[in-house]
Amino acid sequence: MKKILDLITAEVTKAFTSCGYHEKYGKVTLSNRPDLCEYQCNGAMAAAKEYKKAPFLIADEIAKKLSDNEMFLAAESVKPGFLNLKLDPVYLAGYLQEMKQDQERFGCEKAENPRLIMLDYGGPNVAKPLHVGHLRSAIIGESIKRIGRFMGHTMIGDVHLGDWGLQMGLIITELKERKPQLVYFDEGYEGEYPAEAPFTISELEEIYPTASAKSKDDAVYKEAAMQATYELQHGRKGYQALLSHILNVSVTDLKRNYENLNVSFDLWKGESDAQPYIPDMVQKMKDDGYAYISEGALVVDVKEETDTKEIPPCMILKSDGASLYNTTDLATIVNRMEEYHPDEIIYIVDKRQELYFTQVFRCAQKTHLVEESTKLRFLGFGTMNGKDGKPFKTREGGIMRLEHLLSEINEEMYQKIADNHTMDENEARETAKIVALSAVKYGDLSNQASKDYIFDIDRFTSFEGNTGPYILYTIVRIKSILAKYQALGKDTKEAKILPAQTASEKALMLELTGFSAAMEAAFLEAAPHRVCAYIYGLANALNHFYHETKILAEEDETAQAGYICLLELTKGVLEACIDVLGFSAPERM
Ligand code: ARG
Protein backbone atom coordinates (compact mmCIF):
# COMPACT_ATOMS: atom_id res chain seq x y z
CA MET A 1 0.00 0.00 0.00
CA LYS A 2 1.15 3.51 -0.69
CA LYS A 3 1.93 5.63 2.35
CA ILE A 4 -0.85 8.02 3.29
CA LEU A 5 1.34 11.11 2.90
CA ASP A 6 2.31 10.02 -0.60
CA LEU A 7 -1.33 9.53 -1.56
CA ILE A 8 -2.28 12.95 -0.22
CA THR A 9 0.73 14.56 -1.88
CA ALA A 10 -0.28 12.97 -5.18
CA GLU A 11 -3.75 14.54 -5.00
CA VAL A 12 -2.45 17.96 -4.03
CA THR A 13 0.21 17.78 -6.73
CA LYS A 14 -2.49 17.05 -9.29
CA ALA A 15 -4.31 20.16 -8.12
CA PHE A 16 -1.16 22.25 -8.51
CA THR A 17 -0.40 21.01 -12.02
CA SER A 18 -3.97 21.34 -13.23
CA CYS A 19 -3.87 24.99 -12.11
CA GLY A 20 -0.71 25.43 -14.16
CA TYR A 21 1.90 25.25 -11.40
CA HIS A 22 4.95 23.05 -11.15
CA GLU A 23 4.44 19.67 -9.53
CA LYS A 24 7.21 20.24 -7.00
CA TYR A 25 4.92 22.52 -4.98
CA GLY A 26 2.46 19.80 -4.06
CA LYS A 27 4.39 18.26 -1.18
CA VAL A 28 2.26 17.60 1.90
CA THR A 29 3.51 17.09 5.45
CA LEU A 30 1.96 16.29 8.80
CA SER A 31 0.50 19.43 10.31
CA ASN A 32 2.56 21.25 12.87
CA ARG A 33 -0.70 22.80 14.13
CA PRO A 34 -2.77 19.69 14.87
CA ASP A 35 -5.33 21.97 16.51
CA LEU A 36 -6.08 23.49 13.09
CA CYS A 37 -5.63 20.67 10.63
CA GLU A 38 -4.20 17.21 10.08
CA TYR A 39 -1.92 17.84 7.11
CA GLN A 40 -0.54 20.90 5.47
CA CYS A 41 1.02 22.05 2.22
CA ASN A 42 3.22 25.13 2.11
CA GLY A 43 3.83 24.93 -1.64
CA ALA A 44 1.90 28.08 -2.47
CA MET A 45 4.37 30.13 -0.42
CA ALA A 46 7.24 28.92 -2.56
CA ALA A 47 5.30 29.02 -5.82
CA ALA A 48 4.43 32.67 -5.19
CA LYS A 49 8.02 33.66 -5.91
CA GLU A 50 8.26 31.77 -9.18
CA TYR A 51 4.85 32.86 -10.49
CA LYS A 52 5.01 36.38 -9.01
CA LYS A 53 1.56 36.04 -7.51
CA ALA A 54 0.30 36.48 -3.97
CA PRO A 55 0.66 33.15 -2.12
CA PHE A 56 -2.85 33.40 -0.80
CA LEU A 57 -4.27 33.54 -4.32
CA ILE A 58 -2.46 30.37 -5.25
CA ALA A 59 -3.47 28.56 -2.06
CA ASP A 60 -7.05 29.64 -2.72
CA GLU A 61 -7.02 28.22 -6.24
CA ILE A 62 -5.69 24.90 -4.98
CA ALA A 63 -8.21 24.78 -2.15
CA LYS A 64 -11.06 25.31 -4.66
CA LYS A 65 -9.69 22.59 -6.90
CA LEU A 66 -9.62 20.17 -3.94
CA SER A 67 -13.03 21.15 -2.60
CA ASP A 68 -14.87 18.29 -4.25
CA ASN A 69 -12.10 15.74 -3.82
CA GLU A 70 -13.43 12.81 -1.80
CA MET A 71 -10.13 12.36 0.01
CA PHE A 72 -10.66 15.56 1.98
CA LEU A 73 -13.18 16.69 4.50
CA ALA A 74 -11.67 20.15 4.30
CA ALA A 75 -9.04 21.86 2.18
CA GLU A 76 -8.70 25.44 3.33
CA SER A 77 -6.41 28.23 2.35
CA VAL A 78 -5.27 30.41 5.19
CA LYS A 79 -3.27 33.60 5.12
CA PRO A 80 -0.60 34.23 4.14
CA GLY A 81 -0.80 31.20 1.83
CA PHE A 82 -0.98 27.89 3.63
CA LEU A 83 -3.15 25.01 2.67
CA ASN A 84 -4.72 23.20 5.64
CA LEU A 85 -6.06 19.74 5.05
CA LYS A 86 -8.34 17.32 6.87
CA LEU A 87 -8.97 13.80 5.69
CA ASP A 88 -12.46 12.62 4.95
CA PRO A 89 -13.51 10.04 7.57
CA VAL A 90 -14.91 7.71 4.90
CA TYR A 91 -11.67 7.77 2.98
CA LEU A 92 -9.67 7.26 6.18
CA ALA A 93 -11.78 4.27 7.24
CA GLY A 94 -11.28 2.72 3.80
CA TYR A 95 -7.52 3.16 4.04
CA LEU A 96 -7.42 1.49 7.45
CA GLN A 97 -9.65 -1.35 6.31
CA GLU A 98 -7.16 -2.06 3.56
CA MET A 99 -4.32 -2.00 6.11
CA LYS A 100 -6.23 -4.43 8.27
CA GLN A 101 -6.74 -6.90 5.44
CA ASP A 102 -2.97 -7.13 5.05
CA GLN A 103 -2.73 -9.17 8.22
CA GLU A 104 0.99 -9.27 8.83
CA ARG A 105 2.37 -6.18 7.16
CA PHE A 106 -0.55 -3.77 7.64
CA GLY A 107 0.13 -2.17 4.29
CA CYS A 108 3.86 -1.65 4.78
CA GLU A 109 5.55 -2.53 1.50
CA LYS A 110 8.78 -4.46 1.37
CA ALA A 111 11.83 -2.79 -0.11
CA GLU A 112 11.85 -2.80 -3.90
CA ASN A 113 15.55 -3.60 -3.98
CA PRO A 114 16.34 -5.85 -1.05
CA ARG A 115 19.87 -5.51 0.22
CA LEU A 116 22.17 -7.94 1.98
CA ILE A 117 23.24 -6.29 5.19
CA MET A 118 25.62 -7.70 7.78
CA LEU A 119 25.38 -6.53 11.35
CA ASP A 120 28.34 -6.65 13.68
CA TYR A 121 26.88 -6.47 17.17
CA GLY A 122 27.11 -8.07 20.57
CA GLY A 123 30.90 -8.13 20.56
CA PRO A 124 31.38 -10.04 23.83
CA ASN A 125 34.79 -11.27 24.86
CA VAL A 126 35.11 -14.96 25.65
CA ALA A 127 35.89 -16.06 29.20
CA LYS A 128 34.50 -12.80 30.53
CA PRO A 129 30.93 -12.61 31.73
CA LEU A 130 28.55 -10.26 29.93
CA HIS A 131 28.17 -7.03 31.81
CA VAL A 132 25.98 -3.97 31.38
CA GLY A 133 28.44 -2.55 28.85
CA HIS A 134 27.34 -5.26 26.44
CA LEU A 135 23.65 -4.58 26.80
CA ARG A 136 23.23 -1.74 24.35
CA SER A 137 24.98 -3.35 21.39
CA ALA A 138 22.87 -6.48 21.79
CA ILE A 139 19.55 -4.68 22.18
CA ILE A 140 20.08 -2.11 19.43
CA GLY A 141 21.64 -4.57 16.98
CA GLU A 142 18.86 -7.09 17.44
CA SER A 143 16.24 -4.43 16.77
CA ILE A 144 17.95 -3.11 13.64
CA LYS A 145 18.20 -6.67 12.37
CA ARG A 146 14.48 -7.20 12.90
CA ILE A 147 13.50 -3.85 11.38
CA GLY A 148 15.57 -4.67 8.29
CA ARG A 149 13.97 -8.09 7.96
CA PHE A 150 10.53 -6.59 8.28
CA MET A 151 11.40 -4.26 5.42
CA GLY A 152 12.37 -7.25 3.29
CA HIS A 153 16.15 -7.08 3.47
CA THR A 154 18.47 -9.99 4.16
CA MET A 155 20.03 -9.26 7.52
CA ILE A 156 22.90 -11.39 8.83
CA GLY A 157 23.88 -10.85 12.44
CA ASP A 158 27.40 -11.75 13.51
CA VAL A 159 28.36 -11.71 17.20
CA HIS A 160 32.05 -11.08 16.43
CA LEU A 161 33.50 -12.62 19.58
CA GLY A 162 36.62 -11.17 21.11
CA ASP A 163 38.54 -14.46 21.13
CA TRP A 164 42.04 -13.52 20.09
CA GLY A 165 44.94 -11.95 21.85
CA LEU A 166 46.51 -11.79 25.27
CA GLN A 167 43.40 -12.86 27.19
CA MET A 168 43.79 -16.36 25.72
CA GLY A 169 47.47 -16.54 26.65
CA LEU A 170 46.61 -15.45 30.17
CA ILE A 171 44.05 -18.20 30.63
CA ILE A 172 46.45 -20.80 29.24
CA THR A 173 49.24 -19.62 31.54
CA GLU A 174 47.08 -19.72 34.64
CA LEU A 175 45.76 -23.14 33.73
CA LYS A 176 49.30 -24.40 33.27
CA GLU A 177 50.25 -23.18 36.75
CA ARG A 178 47.27 -24.95 38.28
CA LYS A 179 47.25 -28.19 36.28
CA PRO A 180 50.66 -28.65 34.61
CA GLN A 181 49.97 -32.36 34.16
CA LEU A 182 47.24 -31.76 31.53
CA VAL A 183 48.11 -33.21 28.11
CA TYR A 184 47.60 -29.83 26.48
CA PHE A 185 50.94 -28.71 27.90
CA ASP A 186 52.88 -31.78 26.77
CA GLU A 187 54.59 -30.79 23.54
CA GLY A 188 55.42 -34.37 22.69
CA TYR A 189 51.78 -35.47 22.95
CA GLU A 190 50.56 -37.08 19.73
CA GLY A 191 47.14 -38.45 20.67
CA GLU A 192 43.63 -37.04 20.57
CA TYR A 193 42.76 -34.32 23.05
CA PRO A 194 39.91 -34.99 25.49
CA ALA A 195 36.43 -33.94 24.35
CA GLU A 196 35.59 -32.58 27.79
CA ALA A 197 36.93 -29.14 28.76
CA PRO A 198 39.27 -29.11 31.79
CA PHE A 199 37.21 -26.32 33.41
CA THR A 200 33.62 -25.14 33.90
CA ILE A 201 32.27 -21.72 33.01
CA SER A 202 32.50 -20.51 36.61
CA GLU A 203 36.13 -21.65 36.84
CA LEU A 204 36.85 -19.91 33.56
CA GLU A 205 35.27 -16.71 34.78
CA GLU A 206 37.45 -16.86 37.86
CA ILE A 207 40.66 -17.86 36.02
CA TYR A 208 40.69 -14.92 33.65
CA PRO A 209 40.53 -12.04 36.18
CA THR A 210 43.00 -13.86 38.44
CA ALA A 211 45.47 -14.22 35.59
CA SER A 212 44.90 -10.68 34.43
CA ALA A 213 45.59 -9.31 37.92
CA LYS A 214 48.71 -11.45 38.36
CA SER A 215 50.16 -10.31 35.04
CA LYS A 216 49.94 -6.70 36.19
CA ASP A 217 52.48 -7.08 38.96
CA ASP A 218 54.43 -10.12 37.84
CA ALA A 219 56.61 -9.45 34.78
CA VAL A 220 57.68 -13.08 34.41
CA TYR A 221 54.07 -14.22 34.47
CA LYS A 222 53.15 -11.61 31.88
CA GLU A 223 56.03 -12.71 29.68
CA ALA A 224 54.82 -16.31 29.91
CA ALA A 225 51.31 -15.22 28.91
CA MET A 226 52.66 -13.33 25.93
CA GLN A 227 54.72 -16.33 24.91
CA ALA A 228 51.66 -18.59 25.21
CA THR A 229 49.66 -16.13 23.08
CA TYR A 230 52.40 -16.18 20.48
CA GLU A 231 52.55 -19.97 20.42
CA LEU A 232 48.78 -20.24 20.23
CA GLN A 233 48.72 -17.85 17.32
CA HIS A 234 51.47 -19.77 15.61
CA GLY A 235 49.69 -23.06 15.69
CA ARG A 236 50.76 -24.91 18.86
CA LYS A 237 48.33 -27.83 18.87
CA GLY A 238 47.71 -28.24 22.60
CA TYR A 239 46.94 -24.55 22.95
CA GLN A 240 44.61 -24.59 20.01
CA ALA A 241 42.76 -27.47 21.60
CA LEU A 242 42.47 -25.37 24.77
CA LEU A 243 41.20 -22.43 22.73
CA SER A 244 38.36 -24.53 21.34
CA HIS A 245 37.44 -25.63 24.87
CA ILE A 246 37.45 -22.02 26.05
CA LEU A 247 35.27 -21.07 23.10
CA ASN A 248 32.80 -23.92 23.57
CA VAL A 249 32.32 -23.33 27.26
CA SER A 250 32.04 -19.57 26.79
CA VAL A 251 29.73 -19.65 23.81
CA THR A 252 27.30 -22.04 25.53
CA ASP A 253 27.08 -19.59 28.39
CA LEU A 254 26.82 -16.54 26.12
CA LYS A 255 24.01 -18.14 24.13
CA ARG A 256 22.03 -18.74 27.30
CA ASN A 257 22.50 -15.13 28.35
CA TYR A 258 21.54 -13.69 24.99
CA GLU A 259 18.51 -15.96 24.87
CA ASN A 260 17.28 -14.37 28.07
CA LEU A 261 17.47 -11.06 26.24
CA ASN A 262 15.64 -12.49 23.22
CA VAL A 263 18.74 -11.75 21.16
CA SER A 264 20.15 -14.22 18.65
CA PHE A 265 22.90 -14.31 16.07
CA ASP A 266 23.13 -16.00 12.71
CA LEU A 267 26.89 -16.27 12.93
CA TRP A 268 29.03 -17.05 15.93
CA LYS A 269 32.28 -16.03 14.36
CA GLY A 270 35.09 -14.42 16.21
CA GLU A 271 38.31 -12.54 15.78
CA SER A 272 40.14 -15.86 15.53
CA ASP A 273 38.22 -16.75 12.36
CA ALA A 274 39.74 -13.76 10.60
CA GLN A 275 43.36 -14.76 11.26
CA PRO A 276 43.84 -16.99 8.18
CA TYR A 277 43.04 -13.99 5.97
CA ILE A 278 45.73 -11.75 7.42
CA PRO A 279 48.92 -12.84 5.57
CA ASP A 280 47.51 -12.46 2.04
CA MET A 281 45.75 -9.25 2.93
CA VAL A 282 48.90 -7.71 4.33
CA GLN A 283 50.97 -8.86 1.37
CA LYS A 284 48.52 -7.30 -1.06
CA MET A 285 48.49 -4.01 0.82
CA LYS A 286 52.27 -3.95 0.52
CA ASP A 287 52.33 -5.02 -3.13
CA ASP A 288 49.78 -2.39 -4.10
CA GLY A 289 51.90 0.24 -2.41
CA TYR A 290 49.39 1.22 0.28
CA ALA A 291 51.20 -0.12 3.31
CA TYR A 292 54.60 1.20 4.34
CA ILE A 293 56.90 1.00 7.34
CA SER A 294 56.73 3.91 9.74
CA GLU A 295 58.73 3.81 12.98
CA GLY A 296 59.02 0.05 12.55
CA ALA A 297 55.28 -0.56 12.21
CA LEU A 298 53.39 -1.30 9.01
CA VAL A 299 50.78 1.40 8.39
CA VAL A 300 48.35 2.72 5.78
CA ASP A 301 47.67 6.45 5.58
CA VAL A 302 44.00 7.26 5.87
CA LYS A 303 43.87 11.02 6.30
CA GLU A 304 41.91 13.04 3.80
CA GLU A 305 42.23 16.66 2.69
CA THR A 306 38.84 17.63 4.01
CA ASP A 307 39.58 16.35 7.53
CA THR A 308 39.11 18.96 10.20
CA LYS A 309 40.88 16.87 12.81
CA GLU A 310 43.93 14.68 12.64
CA ILE A 311 43.18 11.10 11.55
CA PRO A 312 46.28 9.01 12.35
CA PRO A 313 47.41 6.24 9.97
CA CYS A 314 45.79 2.82 10.34
CA MET A 315 48.32 0.44 11.88
CA ILE A 316 48.37 -2.95 10.18
CA LEU A 317 51.21 -4.76 11.96
CA LYS A 318 53.21 -3.85 15.04
CA SER A 319 56.99 -3.59 14.78
CA ASP A 320 57.32 -7.17 16.06
CA GLY A 321 55.04 -8.32 13.25
CA ALA A 322 52.10 -8.98 15.57
CA SER A 323 48.61 -8.19 14.36
CA LEU A 324 46.23 -5.84 16.16
CA TYR A 325 42.53 -5.19 16.69
CA ASN A 326 42.62 -3.23 13.39
CA THR A 327 44.22 -6.08 11.49
CA THR A 328 41.55 -8.46 12.70
CA ASP A 329 38.71 -6.12 11.78
CA LEU A 330 40.16 -5.59 8.31
CA ALA A 331 40.65 -9.33 7.78
CA THR A 332 37.09 -9.90 8.99
CA ILE A 333 35.93 -7.56 6.22
CA VAL A 334 37.89 -9.67 3.71
CA ASN A 335 36.18 -12.78 5.03
CA ARG A 336 32.73 -11.19 4.94
CA MET A 337 33.18 -9.97 1.38
CA GLU A 338 34.38 -13.37 0.27
CA GLU A 339 31.68 -15.40 1.96
CA TYR A 340 28.63 -13.13 1.88
CA HIS A 341 29.38 -10.22 -0.39
CA PRO A 342 27.24 -7.78 1.65
CA ASP A 343 25.94 -4.48 0.25
CA GLU A 344 26.46 -2.97 3.66
CA ILE A 345 28.04 -3.78 7.02
CA ILE A 346 26.74 -1.98 10.09
CA TYR A 347 28.82 -1.97 13.27
CA ILE A 348 26.91 -1.38 16.48
CA VAL A 349 29.68 -0.49 18.89
CA ASP A 350 30.36 1.96 21.72
CA LYS A 351 30.73 5.43 20.22
CA ARG A 352 34.14 5.79 21.85
CA GLN A 353 35.42 3.55 19.06
CA GLU A 354 34.34 5.98 16.35
CA LEU A 355 37.80 7.24 15.36
CA TYR A 356 39.05 3.68 15.27
CA PHE A 357 36.29 2.68 12.86
CA THR A 358 36.91 5.74 10.70
CA GLN A 359 40.47 4.47 10.26
CA VAL A 360 39.40 0.90 9.56
CA PHE A 361 36.70 1.91 7.04
CA ARG A 362 38.97 4.28 5.18
CA CYS A 363 41.72 1.70 5.06
CA ALA A 364 39.32 -0.97 3.76
CA GLN A 365 38.04 1.40 1.07
CA LYS A 366 41.42 2.70 0.05
CA THR A 367 43.00 -0.74 -0.23
CA HIS A 368 39.91 -2.10 -2.04
CA LEU A 369 38.99 -4.76 0.48
CA VAL A 370 35.43 -3.66 -0.32
CA GLU A 371 33.79 -2.41 -3.49
CA GLU A 372 33.06 1.24 -4.15
CA SER A 373 29.39 0.56 -3.56
CA THR A 374 29.85 -1.34 -0.28
CA LYS A 375 28.57 0.77 2.55
CA LEU A 376 30.43 0.59 5.86
CA ARG A 377 28.44 2.18 8.59
CA PHE A 378 29.35 2.86 12.19
CA LEU A 379 26.49 3.13 14.61
CA GLY A 380 28.04 4.35 17.83
CA PHE A 381 25.96 4.19 20.98
CA GLY A 382 26.28 6.24 24.13
CA THR A 383 26.84 5.10 27.69
CA MET A 384 24.23 3.65 29.96
CA ASN A 385 24.56 5.70 33.14
CA GLY A 386 23.27 5.28 36.66
CA LYS A 387 21.10 7.89 38.38
CA ASP A 388 24.27 9.71 39.41
CA GLY A 389 25.05 10.36 35.74
CA LYS A 390 28.12 8.11 35.83
CA PRO A 391 28.46 4.75 34.06
CA PHE A 392 26.09 2.25 35.60
CA LYS A 393 27.62 0.29 38.50
CA THR A 394 26.54 -2.12 41.22
CA ARG A 395 25.67 -0.65 44.61
CA GLU A 396 29.17 -1.55 45.72
CA GLY A 397 30.60 0.34 42.76
CA GLY A 398 31.67 -2.71 40.74
CA ILE A 399 30.83 -3.71 37.21
CA MET A 400 27.31 -5.08 37.07
CA ARG A 401 26.89 -8.46 35.42
CA LEU A 402 24.11 -8.53 32.90
CA GLU A 403 22.55 -11.56 34.56
CA HIS A 404 22.34 -9.74 37.87
CA LEU A 405 20.84 -6.66 36.30
CA LEU A 406 18.15 -8.73 34.63
CA SER A 407 17.29 -10.69 37.74
CA GLU A 408 17.00 -7.47 39.74
CA ILE A 409 14.51 -6.10 37.26
CA ASN A 410 12.64 -9.39 37.04
CA GLU A 411 12.27 -9.33 40.81
CA GLU A 412 11.09 -5.72 40.85
CA MET A 413 8.51 -6.53 38.18
CA TYR A 414 7.43 -9.68 39.97
CA GLN A 415 6.73 -7.69 43.15
CA LYS A 416 4.55 -5.27 41.21
CA ILE A 417 2.60 -8.01 39.52
CA ALA A 418 2.28 -10.15 42.64
CA ASP A 419 0.87 -7.11 44.47
CA ASN A 420 -2.12 -7.20 42.13
CA HIS A 421 -3.01 -10.74 43.34
CA THR A 422 -4.56 -11.68 40.03
CA MET A 423 -2.39 -14.62 39.07
CA ASP A 424 -0.69 -17.61 40.58
CA GLU A 425 3.02 -17.56 41.36
CA ASN A 426 4.08 -19.28 38.12
CA GLU A 427 2.15 -17.04 35.83
CA ALA A 428 3.29 -13.99 37.77
CA ARG A 429 6.94 -15.05 37.38
CA GLU A 430 6.55 -15.69 33.65
CA THR A 431 4.68 -12.44 33.12
CA ALA A 432 7.25 -10.53 35.16
CA LYS A 433 10.01 -11.78 32.85
CA ILE A 434 8.17 -10.66 29.74
CA VAL A 435 7.33 -7.24 31.14
CA ALA A 436 10.80 -6.74 32.62
CA LEU A 437 12.38 -7.36 29.24
CA SER A 438 10.14 -4.72 27.70
CA ALA A 439 11.22 -2.32 30.46
CA VAL A 440 14.92 -2.81 29.76
CA LYS A 441 14.68 -2.84 25.99
CA TYR A 442 12.24 0.01 25.58
CA GLY A 443 14.14 2.05 28.16
CA ASP A 444 17.18 1.71 25.95
CA LEU A 445 15.66 1.83 22.47
CA SER A 446 13.42 4.83 23.07
CA ASN A 447 16.54 6.99 23.25
CA GLN A 448 18.45 7.98 20.19
CA ALA A 449 21.25 5.37 20.19
CA SER A 450 24.12 7.84 20.03
CA LYS A 451 23.03 9.58 23.25
CA ASP A 452 23.95 8.55 26.79
CA TYR A 453 20.96 7.68 28.93
CA ILE A 454 20.15 7.10 32.55
CA PHE A 455 19.13 3.59 33.47
CA ASP A 456 16.33 4.28 35.92
CA ILE A 457 14.66 1.07 37.07
CA ASP A 458 11.77 2.87 38.75
CA ARG A 459 10.91 4.82 35.66
CA PHE A 460 11.50 1.98 33.18
CA THR A 461 9.28 -0.45 35.08
CA SER A 462 6.43 2.02 35.53
CA PHE A 463 3.13 1.17 33.86
CA GLU A 464 2.66 4.83 33.03
CA GLY A 465 4.56 7.17 30.80
CA ASN A 466 6.84 6.46 27.89
CA THR A 467 7.84 2.93 28.96
CA GLY A 468 7.77 -0.64 27.70
CA PRO A 469 5.31 -1.78 30.38
CA TYR A 470 2.91 1.03 29.35
CA ILE A 471 2.97 -0.21 25.76
CA LEU A 472 2.37 -3.79 26.92
CA TYR A 473 -0.39 -2.63 29.24
CA THR A 474 -2.09 -1.03 26.25
CA ILE A 475 -1.86 -4.24 24.23
CA VAL A 476 -3.16 -6.29 27.16
CA ARG A 477 -6.05 -3.86 27.52
CA ILE A 478 -7.00 -4.45 23.89
CA LYS A 479 -6.64 -8.21 24.28
CA SER A 480 -8.97 -8.15 27.23
CA ILE A 481 -11.66 -6.18 25.35
CA LEU A 482 -11.38 -8.52 22.39
CA ALA A 483 -11.73 -11.55 24.65
CA LYS A 484 -14.82 -10.09 26.33
CA TYR A 485 -16.34 -9.30 22.96
CA GLN A 486 -15.76 -12.87 21.85
CA ALA A 487 -17.19 -14.19 25.10
CA LEU A 488 -20.45 -12.43 24.15
CA GLY A 489 -20.55 -14.84 21.22
CA LYS A 490 -19.75 -12.14 18.67
CA ASP A 491 -17.18 -11.88 15.92
CA THR A 492 -16.06 -9.32 13.33
CA LYS A 493 -16.02 -11.58 10.26
CA GLU A 494 -18.56 -9.45 8.42
CA ALA A 495 -17.56 -6.18 10.04
CA LYS A 496 -15.46 -3.28 8.82
CA ILE A 497 -13.70 -0.27 10.21
CA LEU A 498 -16.26 2.54 10.06
CA PRO A 499 -15.82 6.29 9.58
CA ALA A 500 -14.80 8.01 12.82
CA GLN A 501 -17.60 9.57 14.86
CA THR A 502 -15.50 11.41 17.41
CA ALA A 503 -12.26 13.34 17.57
CA SER A 504 -10.51 10.72 19.67
CA GLU A 505 -11.51 7.99 17.26
CA LYS A 506 -10.23 9.96 14.30
CA ALA A 507 -7.01 10.77 16.13
CA LEU A 508 -6.42 7.06 16.71
CA MET A 509 -7.13 6.34 13.06
CA LEU A 510 -4.71 9.00 11.88
CA GLU A 511 -1.99 7.57 14.13
CA LEU A 512 -2.53 4.14 12.60
CA THR A 513 -1.92 5.47 9.09
CA GLY A 514 1.64 6.40 10.09
CA PHE A 515 2.80 2.80 10.54
CA SER A 516 4.69 2.23 7.30
CA ALA A 517 6.32 5.66 7.36
CA ALA A 518 7.60 4.97 10.87
CA MET A 519 9.03 1.58 9.90
CA GLU A 520 10.62 2.94 6.79
CA ALA A 521 12.26 5.82 8.65
CA ALA A 522 13.47 3.46 11.38
CA PHE A 523 15.15 1.31 8.76
CA LEU A 524 16.72 4.12 6.76
CA GLU A 525 18.11 5.83 9.82
CA ALA A 526 18.88 2.54 11.61
CA ALA A 527 16.89 4.10 14.43
CA PRO A 528 14.67 1.91 16.62
CA HIS A 529 13.71 5.01 18.62
CA ARG A 530 11.52 5.96 15.64
CA VAL A 531 9.43 2.85 16.26
CA CYS A 532 9.24 3.65 19.99
CA ALA A 533 8.10 7.21 19.33
CA TYR A 534 5.49 5.90 16.94
CA ILE A 535 4.00 3.33 19.32
CA TYR A 536 4.01 5.74 22.23
CA GLY A 537 1.82 8.09 20.18
CA LEU A 538 -0.35 5.21 19.05
CA ALA A 539 -0.77 3.82 22.57
CA ASN A 540 -1.74 7.27 23.86
CA ALA A 541 -4.30 7.67 21.09
CA LEU A 542 -5.73 4.24 21.83
CA ASN A 543 -6.07 4.92 25.53
CA HIS A 544 -7.66 8.28 24.91
CA PHE A 545 -10.17 6.68 22.56
CA TYR A 546 -10.83 3.92 25.08
CA HIS A 547 -11.58 6.38 27.88
CA GLU A 548 -13.98 8.39 25.73
CA THR A 549 -15.85 5.56 24.10
CA LYS A 550 -18.31 2.94 25.35
CA ILE A 551 -17.10 -0.09 23.48
CA LEU A 552 -18.46 -3.18 25.16
CA ALA A 553 -21.56 -1.29 26.30
CA GLU A 554 -22.30 0.03 22.81
CA GLU A 555 -25.82 -1.02 21.79
CA ASP A 556 -25.50 -0.48 18.08
CA GLU A 557 -24.00 -3.78 16.95
CA THR A 558 -22.58 -2.39 13.72
CA ALA A 559 -20.89 0.51 15.45
CA GLN A 560 -19.54 -1.85 18.10
CA ALA A 561 -18.15 -4.26 15.53
CA GLY A 562 -16.49 -1.29 13.83
CA TYR A 563 -14.77 -0.34 17.08
CA ILE A 564 -13.61 -3.90 17.57
CA CYS A 565 -12.14 -3.93 14.07
CA LEU A 566 -10.26 -0.75 14.87
CA LEU A 567 -8.92 -2.32 18.07
CA GLU A 568 -7.83 -5.43 16.19
CA LEU A 569 -5.85 -3.32 13.77
CA THR A 570 -4.28 -1.32 16.59
CA LYS A 571 -3.26 -4.50 18.36
CA GLY A 572 -1.74 -5.92 15.18
CA VAL A 573 0.28 -2.79 14.53
CA LEU A 574 1.48 -2.51 18.13
CA GLU A 575 2.51 -6.16 18.13
CA ALA A 576 4.39 -5.84 14.84
CA CYS A 577 6.25 -2.88 16.34
CA ILE A 578 7.25 -4.52 19.61
CA ASP A 579 8.33 -7.56 17.65
CA VAL A 580 10.90 -5.49 15.76
CA LEU A 581 11.97 -3.96 19.06
CA GLY A 582 12.65 -7.50 20.27
CA PHE A 583 10.03 -8.12 22.96
CA SER A 584 6.49 -9.44 23.22
CA ALA A 585 3.31 -8.94 25.22
CA PRO A 586 1.83 -11.28 27.85
CA GLU A 587 -1.84 -12.33 27.86
CA ARG A 588 -2.54 -10.30 30.98
CA MET A 589 -0.61 -8.29 33.51
N1 ARG B 1 34.95 -7.02 21.61
C2 ARG B 1 35.00 -5.61 21.37
C3 ARG B 1 35.02 -4.85 22.70
O4 ARG B 1 34.73 -5.41 23.73
C5 ARG B 1 33.85 -5.11 20.55
C6 ARG B 1 33.82 -5.63 19.15
C7 ARG B 1 33.18 -4.67 18.22
N8 ARG B 1 33.17 -5.12 16.86
C9 ARG B 1 34.22 -5.05 16.05
N10 ARG B 1 34.11 -5.53 14.84
N11 ARG B 1 35.35 -4.51 16.41
O12 ARG B 1 35.34 -3.68 22.68
Average pLDDT over residues 255-284: 96
Å from CA of 349 to ligand 1 middle? 7
Q: Tell me whether residue 547 is exposed, middle or buried, using C-beta atoms within 10 angstroms of its C-beta: 0 to 12, 13 to 18, 19 or more.
A: exposed
349, 350, 360, 376, best to mutate for ligand 1 pocket (most atoms within 8 Å of CB): 349
Secondary structure letter of residue 110 according to DSSP: P
Nearest CA to ligand 1 atom 5: 123
Give SS3 for 319. coil
Nearest CA to ligand 1 atom 8: 123
Q: Which residues line ligand 1 (CB under 6 A)?
A: 120, 123, 125, 160, 162, 329, 347, 349
* CA 265/CA 157 separation, integer angstroms: 5
The whole-number pLDDT of residue 305 equals 95
Share above pLDDT 90 across residues of the chain, in percent, rounded to a whole number = 91
Q: What is the pLDDT of residues 404-429, one digit of tens each?
A: 999 999 999 999 998 877 889 999 99
The whole-number pLDDT of residue 393 equals 87
pLDDT at 478 over 80: yes
pLDDT at 323 over 90: no
* CA 89/CA 87 separation, integer angstroms: 6
Q: How many CA atoms does the CB half-sphere of 6 hold within 13 Å? A: 6
Give the position, in ligand 1's atom list, of the atom nearest the Cα of 332.
10
Give the position, in ligand 1's atom list, of the atom nearest the Cα of 353.
12
164, 353, 359, best to mutate for ligand 1 pocket (most atoms within 8 Å of CB): 353
Q: Residue 376 — φ and ψ, nearest 5°? A: -110, 125
pTM score of the predicted model: 0.95
Å from CA of 453 to ligand 1 middle? 21
Å from CA of 495 to ligand 1 middle? 53
Residues 6+ apart with CB under 8 A from 331: 274, 275, 277, 278, 281, 323
